[in-house]
Amino acid sequence: MAASPSASHLRDELIVKPGTRVRLSRLDPAGTHGFDKASAKPLIKHELERLATLQDRLWAEARRSVLVVLQGIDAAGKDGTIQKVMEAFNPQGCVVSAFKVPTAEELAHDFLWRVHKRVPGKGEIGIFNRSHYEDVLVVRVHGLAPKTVWSKRYAQINEFERTLAASGTTIVKFCLSIDRDEQRARLQERYDDPTKRWKFSMGDLEERARWDDYQAAFDEALTRTSTPWAPWYVIPADRNWFRNLAVASILADTITGLRPAYPRPPDLPADLVIT
């Protein structure tokens, strides 16, 4: 019998090992780790099928949850990842949360308040499109809080995620990495396409001008918050097909490690006939 297709080595190759100093500028955002688009197509299909089966078991088991965090600079592909990879999940057991500019109510609380409310419940998979990491990325880059405030948040985030993990939530964090030229091309495409222009704003160009500041902020966040209980994976995302393969494979391997199983049914008669 032929071996099942596998991209399992990507989990080891793309993880940010705790204690590792990250420099996104030294990583190739166009890398494909030996795959090409043609060979990736059946692998992606295989991984999506795995994810569908695993989610069904996780939902039926209703004992643990999975939190997927997606971060990346503007146009890195967070929405596309949700559309293409998370389509494997039954919406009944999967909740997507997008974290935009905090509301007045949210600003009246600690920075983790709005996030904690959206953590998935038992049996669920939660997807964060942006997350609590905005408070050490955007907040840092735009000076929305002094360094004495945001610099303490790395440790606070680590402890928050440790608490979630201890309560049965498996956390998988993906940083989608693209290069500056790819971002320019994607923003231009977004502007030129009438079906995508609604996503474009002049503020995108202002954010793009802060590219170096964002890269430094990402470097420090990845370095200081990749932990054994909530690891980061840096996903080369210039090529959408490889991004989809890597995220799907890593997520499927992670959930497989939980060994979710259908619960044992209650004692039933051996010859039940329902009329």
| Nearest C-alpha neighbor of 239 from the set 56, 8, 17, 44 | 44
Q: Where are the domains of the chain?
A: 18-257
Average pLDDT of adjacent 10-residue blocks, the chain of 275 residues: 63 96 97 95 96 98 98 97 96 96 96 98 98 98 98 98 98 98 97 94 95 98 98 98 98 97 86 87
CATH 3.30.420.40 fits 18-257, yes or no: no
Question: What pLDDT score does 268 carry?
Answer: 81
